[in-house]
């Protein structure tokens, strides 16, 4: 009996979102496009950089340095100038990210065994890219330095560092980004669909009709919670399939563990969404409220920047963020085959958050009814 | 129809819209609270500045040389070191993410170093976070090179033949807050200009009050202008709040002129509002409008604008897409106004492109609305 009622409500809720053909399209197509576009766009690697060189040196070492810069795959265009003003202007207007100045005595100093230097100006407005490009230029200069007569003498004694990358041998950025996007887009979809569910009925006035129906309060709650969870899980499944089939990301851990934690994750999100929904009087309030949760949720999850880099007083705030735990699970299960015990350790806080948000939503929902 | 009639009608429309904004607490939330939250997050939470990374250092053979090398990792400002004697001690920690890398100083190191027989050490990093992995690799190389140079110069004393003198203009300390906070102002204006506007107007369509207004003598142009003026002002107010916070709370230097700042931001609001109007007219539904605004305005402003990720590093097809993201033109100029000063040739180009986009979006929105009425 209660099942028939509940089923009817779930079907109605799914229809409310999926009935409109545009609604169906917007729920499926943009998230998939996003996954593809953003996973290629969101890279902190630096490529195709334009630089300018002011070479005052007429000798072969200055020429050699320019050759090596031009040969590096990081740089796209190497422009030349004789005038410090043009160099200055190019950096100011961001036509180049870095400017390299070679002094007139560069080759002479090297031949004479005298220490010499190369000046590099980098654009601090893009400090992240600048730092990386600065690192590349330093490597090029160090290699040149090692091939000078004085450098060759000490080469045999240089200490080498042999790197090995575990879990992602070629350090492919998408292997990091796609698992992050799986969690983030599921958060976005789950939160907004749930946040709107009650707010829409309230705005359209159909909520009172629902209240006088034979449905019990907890049945209405469950009926409101399950459809967004189902939609979220369909999304997660789509993305997992895309991660494997389109991006060739190895799934090293167990799919079962991934789904188990996904269900708990979606439960915590849907609880949060319902809480916002119960608090809002209009759809606009629900959407903007969801947004106010969504943005900090994404930024404090370790997605954009590592949590360890945040100031010490802010790090504890991330403990209440469900996405923080889920991203570690998704990345871990995909790339590292993390042990079951760690998945459980990370799922427990998710479950606690779910219990808290769901009961808070139920409490607020009941309170609003009275 | 006299001119004063038209002005009066427009005034009424603007006033009506304005009341509607003030009455709903969520509009206030998004114009005043969200900017503060966002700036706060970009000021503190999103930091690209590197801090100490935890690594394991394995010393396979304890000798004065290897101990000295291991100590130089601890002395570095970039690492937080845990010592061990066997790499297996750290393998699990690497899987669990408790350490980001393992530096292995092999048993043969001391002998190779003394004999100048190409001594080498190994660094194992957690590739599941490529950024961190690169960071650990680079700083390991740096630490080792500095250590070796120190060690050799103690015995032989010769500086490397070529050194690099590196300077960062505009932001010498490389504080990521200094470019993230100005960039986030563009995101705040996208939210007010596109998301809020599209929601509010979509609601009018949804409820049918838009048609009611259309039945009055108001023309489509008046209606559009009347709708957007309040949001234009709201966008500027929200941006002003952000700038004040940036300068007085986050200590971001402001080296340009206020005129340039407002010229850039006001121009940016034209395509942002145009996009909001177009979305609302095309969807007439708050749920669809919010999703479209999120996907076509907020996320691109965040990810495809060069705000966090370098456009030059993206695949060519995606670089083409970024050409139609208005914030792509605003963000570098905003960062320049704050950190470098007024560089008008750069601003002029940005303003021209944003104006053009604004005109195209408004024409599309006006067409869409007129079609609905006919």
pLDDT in tens, B2-28: 677 778 888 888 888 888 777 777 777
Give every strand in the sheet of A49-55, ordered side by side: A75-80, A49-55, A98-102, A116-123, B162-169
Are B178 and A150 within 8 A, CB to CB?
A: no
The CA distance from A270 to A278, in Å, is 12
Question: Is B346 inside any structural domain?
Answer: yes
DSSP per-residue codes, A259-328: HHHHHHHHHHHHHHHHHHHHH-SSHHHHHHHHHHHHHHHHHTTTSSS-GGGS-TTTGGGGGG-HHHHHHH
Q: Are residues B327 and B346 in the same domain?
A: yes
State how far Cα A226 lies from the chain centre.
27
SS3 assignment, position A125: helix
Residue of B nearest to A33 (CA): B295
The rounded distance, in Å, linking the Cα atoms of A362 and A368 is 10
Residue of B147, B158, B313 lying closest to A43 (CB–CB)? B313
Question: In this predicted model, which residue has the larger pLDDT, A349 or B204?
Answer: A349
Alpha helices in chain B (DSSP H): 3-23, 25-28, 34-40, 64-75, 88-96, 109-115, 130-155, 177-190, 197-207, 209-214, 220-248, 258-283, 286-293, 299-303, 316-322, 327-339, 344-373
Same domain, B17 and B57: no
What's the pLDDT at B240?
Answer: 94
Tally of domains in chain A:
2
Total number of domains in chain B: 2
User: According to the model, what pLDDT value does residue A299 have?
Assistant: 87
| Contacting residues of A for B152, CB less than 8 Å apart | 154, 157
- Of A163, A304, A314, Cβ closest to residue B308: A304
Asked if B291 and B199 sit in the same domain, the reply is: yes
The neighbour count for residue A203, using CB atoms within 10 Å, is: 21
User: Do both B193 and B86 map to the same domain?
Assistant: no
Q: Distance (Å, rounded) from C-alpha A112 to C-alpha A91?
A: 33
Q: Are residues A72 and A198 in the same domain?
A: no
Same domain for B149 and B194: no
Residue with tokens 């980098």: A122
Assigned domain for A132 exists: yes
- Interchain pair A310, B47: CB under 8 A: yes
User: What pLDDT is attached to residue A154?
Assistant: 64
pLDDT digits (tens, 9 = 90+) for B154-178: 555 566 677 778 888 888 877 888 8
Residue numbers of the domain that contains A286:
28-42+173-369
For residue B129, being part of any structural domain is answered with: yes
- Mutation target vs A (from B73, B161, B253; most A CBs, 10 A cutoff): B161
A288 at interface of B, judged by CB pairs closer than 8 A: yes
Residue by residue, DSSP assigns B267-325 as HHHHHHHHHHHHHHHHH-SHHHHHHHHIIIIIHHHHHSSSSSS-GGGS-HHHHHHHTT-
Same domain (yes/no): A37, A54: no
Q: What is the pLDDT of residue B212?
A: 78
Residue B306 located in a structural domain? yes
> Which chain A residues are closer than 8 Å to B291 by Cβ?
26-27, 30, 192
Percent of chain B exceeding pLDDT 90 equals 29
Binary contact (B169, A124; C-beta < 8 A): yes
**Residue A93, domain CATH:** 3.40.1710.10
- Residue with the larger pLDDT of the pair B374 and B331: B331
- Average pLDDT over chain B, rounded to whole? 86
Q: What is the pLDDT of residue A10?
A: 83
Q: Rounded to whole angstroms, how far apart are CA atoms B332 and A126?
A: 9
Chain A (290-329) residues lying within 8 Å, Cβ to Cβ, of chain B: 291-292, 295-296, 299-300, 304-306, 308-311, 314, 328
Can you give the length of chain A in residues? 370
Q: Are residues B96 and B146 both part of a single domain?
A: yes
Instruction: For residue B166, tell me if it sits in a domain.
Output: no
Q: Contacts of residue B345 in chain A, CB cutoff 8 Å? A: 93
Q: Which of B158-162, B179-183, B329-333, B360-364 has the lowest mean pLDDT?
A: B158-162
Q: Which positions 72-131 of A are in contact with B (Cβ < 8 Å)?
A: 76, 91-94, 110, 113, 115-131
Model pLDDT, residue B53:
85
Q: State how far the Cα of A273 lies from the Cα of A279, in Å rounded to an integer.
A: 10
Chain B touched by A4 (CB under 8 Å): no
Domain boundary among B91, B125, B155: B155
Looking at the partner chain, which of A115, A282, A309 has a beta carbon nearest the beta carbon of B159?
A115
Q: How far apart are CA B78 and CA B83, in angstroms?
A: 16
What's the confidence (pLDDT) of residue A272?
93
Instruction: Decide if pLDDT at B374 tops 60.
Output: no
Q: Which of B100, B126, B155 is the last residue of a domain?
A: B155
Structural domain includes residue A291: yes
Q: Do A43 and B335 count as a contact with CB atoms less than 8 A apart?
A: no
Same domain flag for A33 and A131: no
Q: Judge whether residue B234 has pLDDT over 70.
A: yes
Q: How crowded is residue A344: how many other Cβ atoms within 10 Å of its Cβ? A: 13
Q: Looking at the structure, tell me whether residues B180 and B80 fall in a common domain.
A: no
Task: For residue A44, report the phi and psi dihedrals to the nearest 5 degrees.
Answer: -95, 5
- Asked if the structure places residue B76 within a domain, the reply is yes
Q: Which of A116, A174, A287, A345 to mutate to test the interface with B (most CBs of B within 10 A)?
A: A287
| A201 and A95 in a common domain | no
Pairwise CB contact (< 8 Å): A305 & B45: yes
Same domain for A305 and A216: yes
Neighboring chain A residues of B38 at a CB cutoff of 8 Å: 295
Instruction: Among B155, B185, B220, give the residue marking a domain's end.
Output: B155
- What distance lies between CA A65 and its chain's CA centroid? 37
Please tell me whether residues B349 and B264 are part of one structural domain: yes
Statement to judge: residues B203 and B266 lie in one domain: yes
The whole-number pLDDT of residue B281 equals 87
| A185, A142: one domain | no
Alpha-carbon distance of A188 to A64, in angstroms, equals 52
> Do residues B17 and B85 both lie within one domain?
no
B299 and B217 in one domain?
Answer: yes
ipTM confidence score: 0.81
- Residues A212, A307, single domain; the answer is yes
Does an H or E element contain A222, and which? helix A217-245
Shortest distance, CA A92 to any CA of chain B (angstroms): 7
Shared-domain flag, residues A197 and A342: yes
Looking up residue B118, the CATH number of its domain turns out to be: 3.40.1710.10
Per-residue confidence (pLDDT) for residue A258, from 0 to 100: 94
Q: Would residue A1 count as lying in a domain?
A: no
- The mean per-residue pLDDT over the stretch B323-338 comes to 94
Q: Do A129 and A179 belong together in one domain?
A: no
B126's enclosing H/E stretch is: strand B120-126
Is residue B311 domain-shared with residue B356, that is, in the same domain? Answer: yes
Tell whether A187 is within 8 A of chain B (Cβ): no
- Indicate whether A304 belongs to any domain: yes
Same domain for A92 and A182, yes or no, is: no
CB contact under 8 A, B162 and A118: yes
**What is the domain range of residue B111?**
53-155
Residues of chain A with pLDDT under 70: 1, 151-157, 370
Please indicate, yes or no, whether residues A138 and A202 belong to a single structural domain of this protein. no
Interface with A, mutate which of B164, B292, B339, B341 (most A CBs under 10 A): B164
DSSP state of A99: E
Contacts of B186 in chain A (CB under 8 A): none
In a shared domain, residues A235 and A364: yes
């Amino acid at each position: 009996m209660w099942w028939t009622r509940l089923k009817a409500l779930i079907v109605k809720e799914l229809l409310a979102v999926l009935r409109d053909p545009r609604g169906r399209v917007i729920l499926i197509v943009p998230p998939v496009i996003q996954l593809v576009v953003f996973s290629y766009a969101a890279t902190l690697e630096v490529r195709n950089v334009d630089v300018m060189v002011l070479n005052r040196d007429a000798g072969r070492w200055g020429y050699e340095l320019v050759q090596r810069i031009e040969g590096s795959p990081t740089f796209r265009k190497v422009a030349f100038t004789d005038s410090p003003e043009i160099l200055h202007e190019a950096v100011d207007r961001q036509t180049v990210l870095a400017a390299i100045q070679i002094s007139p005595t560069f080759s002479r100093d090297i031949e004479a065994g005298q220490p010499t230097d190369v000046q590099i100006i980098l654009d601090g407005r893009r400090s992240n890219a600048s730092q990386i490009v600065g690192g590349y230029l330093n490597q090029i200069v160090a290699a040149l330095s090692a091939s000078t007569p004085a450098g060759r003498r000490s080469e045999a004694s240089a200490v080498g560092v042999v790197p090995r990358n575990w879990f992602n041998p070629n350090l492919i950025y998408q292997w990091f980004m796609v698992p992050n996007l799986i969690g983030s887009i599921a958060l976005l979809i789950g939160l907004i669909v749930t946040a709107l569910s009650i707010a829409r009925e309230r705005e359209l006035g159909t909520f009172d009709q629902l209240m006088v129906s034979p449905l019990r309060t907890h049945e209405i709650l469950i009926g409101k919670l399950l459809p967004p969870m189902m939609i979220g899980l369909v999304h997660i499944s789509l993305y997992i399939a895309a991660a494997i089939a389109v991006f060739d990301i190895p799934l090293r851990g167990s799919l079962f563990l991934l789904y188990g934690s996904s269900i708990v994750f979606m439960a915590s999100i849907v609880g949060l969404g319902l809480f916002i929904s119960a608090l809002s009087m209009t759809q606009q309030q629900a959407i903007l409220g969801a947004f106010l949760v969504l943005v900090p949720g994404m930024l404090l999850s370790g997605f954009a920047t590592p949590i360890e880099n945040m100031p010490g007083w802010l790090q504890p705030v991330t403990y209440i963020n469900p996405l923080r735990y889920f991203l570690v699970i998704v990345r871990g299960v995909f790339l590292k085959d993390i042990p079951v015990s760690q998945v459980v350790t990370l799922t427990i806080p998710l479950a606690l958050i779910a219990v808290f948000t769901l009961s808070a939503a139920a409490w607020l929902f009941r309170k609003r009814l009275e | 129809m006299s001119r004063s009639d038209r002005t009066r009608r427009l005034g009424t429309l603007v006033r009506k819209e304005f009341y509607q904004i003030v009455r709903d607490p969520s509009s206030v939330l998004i114009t005043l609270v969200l900017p503060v939250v966002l700036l706060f997050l970009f000021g503190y939470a999103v930091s690209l500045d590197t801090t100490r990374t935890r690594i394991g250092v394995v010393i396979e053979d304890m000798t004065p040389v290897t101990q000295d090398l291991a100590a130089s990792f601890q002395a570095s400002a970039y690492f937080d070191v845990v010592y061990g004697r066997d790499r297996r001690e750290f393998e699990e920690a690497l899987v669990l993410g408790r350490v980001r890398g393992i530096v292995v100083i092999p048993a043969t190191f001391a002998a190779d170093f003394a004999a100048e027989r190409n001594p080498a050490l190994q660094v194992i990093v957690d590739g599941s976070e490529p950024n961190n992995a690169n960071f650990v690799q680079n700083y390991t190389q740096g630490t080792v090179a500095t250590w070796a140079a120190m060690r050799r110069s103690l015995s032989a004393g010769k500086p490397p033949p070529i050194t690099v003198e590196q300077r960062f203009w505009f932001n010498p300390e490389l504080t990521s807050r200094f470019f993230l906070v100005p960039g986030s102002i563009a995101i705040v204006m996208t939210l007010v200009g596109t998301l809020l506007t599209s929601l509010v107007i979509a609601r009018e369509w949804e409820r049918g009050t838009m048609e009611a207004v259309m039945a009055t003598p108001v023309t489509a142009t008046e209606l559009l202008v009347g709708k957007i003026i309040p949001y234009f002002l709201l966008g500027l107010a929200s941006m002003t709040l952000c700038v004040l916070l940036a300068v007085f709370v986050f200590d971001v230097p402001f080296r340009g002129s206020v005129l340039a700042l407002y010229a850039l931001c006001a121009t940016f609001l034209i395509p942002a509002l145009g996009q909001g109007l177009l979305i609302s007219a095309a969807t007439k539904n708050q749920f669809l409008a919010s999703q479209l605004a999120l996907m076509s305005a907020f996320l691109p402003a965040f990810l495809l604008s060069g705000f966090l990720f370098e456009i030059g590093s993206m695949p060519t097809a995606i670089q083409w897409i970024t050409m139609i993201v208005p914030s792509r033109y605003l963000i570098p100029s905003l960062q320049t106004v704050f950190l470098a000063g007024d560089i008008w040739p750069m601003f002029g180009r940005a303003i021209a492109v944003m104006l053009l986009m604004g005109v195209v979006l408004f024409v599309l929105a006006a067409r869409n609305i007129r079609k609905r009425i006919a």
